[in-house]
Chains A and B, each alone.
Chain A
Amino acid sequence: MTEKLVIIGNGMAPGRMLEHLLEAAPDRYQITIFNAEPRVNYDRIMLSPVLSGEKAFEEIVIHGDGWYIKHGITLYKGHRIAAIDRDAKTVTSDHGVTESYDKLVIATGSVPFIIPVPGRDLPGVLSYRDLDDVSAMLLAAQSRDRAVVIGGGLLGLEAAAGLKERGMDVTVLHVMPTLMERQLDPAAGYLLQKAVEARGIKVITKANTKAIVGNGKVEGVELADGEIIPATLVVMAVGIRPNIGLAKDAGLEVNRGIVTDDHMVTSDPSIFALGECAEVGGHVYGLVAPLYEMARVTAARLSGGEDKRFVHSDTPTKLKVTGIDLYSIGDFADGDDREEIILRDASAGIYKRVILQDNRIIGTVLFGETGDGAWFNDLKKKATDISEMRDTLIFGQAFQGGASSDPLAAVAALADDAEICGCNGVCKGKITEAIVAKGLTSLDDVRAHTKASASCGSCTGLVEQLMQLSLGDSYNPAAVQPMCSCTTLGHDDVRRLIKAKGLKTIPAVMQELEWKTSCGCAKCRPALNYYLVADWPDEYADDYQSRFINERVHANIQKDGTYSVVPRMWGGMTSAKELRAIADVVDKFEIPAVKVTGGQRIDMLGIRKEDLPAVWADLGKAGFVSGHAYAKGLRTVKTCVGTDWCRFGTQDSTGFGIRIEKFMWGSWTPAKVKMAVSGCPRNCAEATCKDVGVVCVDSGYEIHFAGAAGLDIKGTEVLGLVKTEDEALEVIVALVQMYREQARYLERIYKWTRRVGVPEIRRQVLDDLDRRKAFYDRFVFSQKFAQVDPWSERVSGKDKHEFRPMAVAEFVQAAE
């Protein structure tokens, strides 16, 4: 019989524990999780990049909703456990859900320490612990006003850097004489302070907070010496305390944390504790590596597998503030029995200190250049006698045994059991073995298979070097293709930063993202213009000079400099009146060629640019609007005659096609979008090679996408079957909006899908109803600004200059 496993808390430690457990004993437990936060498991270490805008929340999710479903885990979001009844072996949530357990895991994490000063409850005083705190800070940062961060430790400095990045005027108050005094010696603390100040953040050390002042909301922080620092936001980041209240109430043995043995078992043999709330061997932990170790130990015990025990080890400290490199590990206090080797390079801002005891490294502090951190740590862990290399030790690994300064050689020289990823405890041998055995070729693959560099990411460089060593030239670490030669950033980074930094004009993008050219080029400008149109539909003014000629004049340029014009024929349906109007236009303007297109409409070719507005005026009178046959946007929706005429038709495919086209015309997309709706599986509209296609069946609408029938030939993927036309429309619109928001410019849906994966797209636009609705709503909002017929605008005089020569020079005038 399956046993019941209940987990209280859904942070990184229990998340990792479940991964191990599901691997070792997938069917042993029926698992229930109670999470006080109303969301899935995410990478808390990466909150600082979310705050600073370098990452989006979606990017730091570890387990999406689908993961819980796949593993049959019940996740109660927003349920705080109110009580544990150890006799009845049940837990009860604050929403009244009671669940019984055979085994219980307490992973309640920690709570931020709030200094007991007057005013600590004022609105505008935040801690820095979870996504809600980050969201509140982001909201406050919109004021671009002043913020005070109390606490100059790891979290405080990351918060300060993030808020500064978001445009706030930030002051850090730190009670000790130097920053991060628990992880850094005073010299490195001083350098850190200089580096922080160089970013425009004020630092006040020896600052004793007396009170937080304000009337109804925060107005400032008062120091012990009476000075008041004005602020509208105060972030307290002075430390954390294990969250042990629940365990204590249940009568479990607690000290600083919930006391466990080295199997992570508490004083009750049915109850485990792990994560920041646990105290093992007299230590409590706040960094991820030991927490993951606890996860491994707990999972081994729960699965009845090999006997693992938790062993204490030092964990390096790294600061996640872009541009400040800092690494420290071990013990660095002075002492009579200790020696130290120091390297300082003031102009380069480098400081390195290695602390030795009996010719063995016991601590390391690196600032400004941290590449050798892993190597020093390895020497420390193995207690290597360094007498032989003492003279050059401080210069790092590259200087040992020959003067090689090749970073690859340094990585090659690392032993197989050298730790590469501190967060996840992955050693070199495991990574190289996985690369070879599983044929991994990308960083993402390696992350997926080994977890190396999948948490804080600071060892990414090392992992990439390992890939280079294993794969040789076939691996290119700079695989992110820059958008063009004007920038080193790839499309994805640019899109992310446009949103994160709120960049709303092309000059703003180029300035903030440090474009290398004054005004871009023909590759990046149309892409940026599209990203801005898609991201800020109501605020961004389309930059017409950054569009290709076709989109600028709303017709297709031909090889002789003339243009072709394709009016919309909704769903491929037309009438005598429309055909007559086209015939008249062709006669009147002596249009040399008329052709039926593959998208069920009519193309008039060879029109002189000067004639375009007059051609459109005549077409407009017959009710025609632009067919956007020139656009990176919605082109056609091809249909068959469906239930109107066809004896096999199952649904009104023509009507639905017209409805889609009328709903979606005018929208700009990363590349062209062609659609089709077929009324039955005979598929006469050829829907299964389109960007988006619908095949009607008796039971509803089968939605297809990611087909291609051009440069590449590819049948579509099936997104799913829905019952009603309304639902089909919502899913299709959501799909296109997701594509509009996430794809790279000029990337067709099938290529984007290849990159993102069908399951992920299905999850976002079909399964997750809230997300689907949000995509749909954003599309509808953007259509308010996009559905303007460009032809009638130009008939009324818009961009007049575009269709006339500036001047006409005659022989006579020139000869004067």
Chain B
Amino acid sequence: MTWFDIGAIEDIPQRGARCVATPRGKIGVFRTHDDRIFAIEDHCPHRGGPLSQGIVHGAAVTCPLHNWVISLETGKALGADEGSVKTIPVRVEDGRIALALGEALLAAE
């Protein structure tokens, strides 16, 4: 697994998100109220809304376009909606965040 350093925990606001640009599209990186970090595709399974722009609550995010709620842990839509986004493995060491982008990007080539 190839780990790609994207920055420090403090670069993301608590209960917020930033995105990471990759050739395969954007990845949303989320920081919860209790400082857990998650990364998922920044693309809602419903209509492709940018999930990183949504409101983060607990370990979930509400899509800004039509209010689907996506679990950050599983990438699955919660509630009555069905669909899922890919989750990306995250490693946090000494306050730095790294994503396992290897496979995703290599697969793209």
B4–A814 touching, CB < 8 Å = yes
Q: Which residue of A lies closest to B103 (CB)?
A: A814
B55–A806 touching, CB < 8 Å = no
A519–B64 touching, CB < 8 Å = no
Of A547, A553, A807, chain B has the most CB atoms within 10 Å of the CB of A807
Do A811 and B26 form a contact, CB below 8 Å, given A517-B57, A526-B55, A805-B18?
no
Minimum distance in angstroms from A815 CB to a CB of chain B: 7
A816–B2 touching, CB < 8 Å = yes
A814–B12 touching, CB < 8 Å = no
Do A522 and B67 form a contact, CB below 8 Å, given A517-B57, A805-B21, A814-B4?
yes
Q: Which residue of B lies closest to A543 (CB)?
A: B15
CB of B20 closer than 8 Å to a CB of A: yes
In angstroms, Cα B13 to Cα A546, docked, is: 12
B53–A805 touching, CB < 8 Å = no
A sample of 24 inter-chain contacts (CB < 8 A) reads: A517-B57, A518-B33, A519-B15, A519-B57, A521-B62, A522-B57, A525-B55, A544-B13, A548-B64, A549-B53, A549-B54, A553-B53, A557-B53, A561-B53, A801-B11, A806-B7, A806-B18, A807-B5, A807-B20, A807-B21, A809-B4, A813-B4, A814-B2, A814-B101
6 extra interface residue pairs, beta carbon distance < 8 Å, beyond A561-B50, A806-B19, A807-B4: A518-B34, A545-B14, A545-B16, A557-B53, A805-B26, A809-B23
| A546 partner, pick from B5, B11, B26, B55, beta carbons under 8 A | B55
A806–B6 touching, CB < 8 Å = yes
Q: Which residue of A lies closest to B29 (CB)?
A: A806
Of A526, A549, A805, A814, chain B has the most CB atoms within 10 Å of the CB of A814
Q: Which residue of B lies closest to A485 (CB)?
A: B79
Minimum distance in angstroms from B57 CB to a CB of chain A: 5
Q: Which residue of B lies closest to A550 (CB)?
A: B64
- Please give, as numbers and ranges, the residues of chain A lying within 8 Å of B11 by CB-CB distance: 801, 806
A545–B64 touching, CB < 8 Å = no
| B12 partner, pick from A517, A519, A806, beta carbons under 8 A | A806
A559–B102 touching, CB < 8 Å = no
CB of A23 closer than 8 Å to a CB of B: no
Q: Can you list, as one digit per residue, whether each of B36-70 has a CB less than 8 Å from chain A (1) or not (0)?
A: 00000000000111100111111000101101010
Q: Which residue of B lies closest to A810 (CB)?
A: B23
In angstroms, Cα B62 to Cα A545, docked, is: 12
In angstroms, Cα B105 to Cα A810, docked, is: 9
Q: Which residue of A lies closest to B66 (CB)?
A: A559
Minimum distance in angstroms from A494 CB to a CB of chain B: 17
Chain B positions within 8 Å of A, measured between CB atoms, are 2, 4-7, 11-16, 18-23, 26, 29, 32-34, 47-50, 53-58, 62, 64-65, 67, 69, 101-102, 105-106, 108-109
- Please give, as numbers and ranges, the residues of chain B lying within 8 Å of A53 by CB-CB distance: none
Q: Which residue of A lies closest to B79 (CB)?
A: A485
A545–B101 touching, CB < 8 Å = no
- Please give, as numbers and ranges, the residues of chain B lying within 8 Å of A560 by CB-CB distance: 48
- Please give, as numbers and ranges, the residues of chain A lying within 8 Å of B55 by CB-CB distance: 521-522, 525-526, 545-548
A521–B57 touching, CB < 8 Å = yes
CB of A520 closer than 8 Å to a CB of B: yes
B58–A814 touching, CB < 8 Å = no
Q: Can you list, as one digit per residue, whether each of A543-573 has a CB less than 8 Å from chain B (1) or not (0)?
A: 0111111101100010111000000000000
- Please give, as numbers and ranges, the residues of chain B lying within 8 Å of A525 by CB-CB distance: 55, 57
B4–A522 touching, CB < 8 Å = no
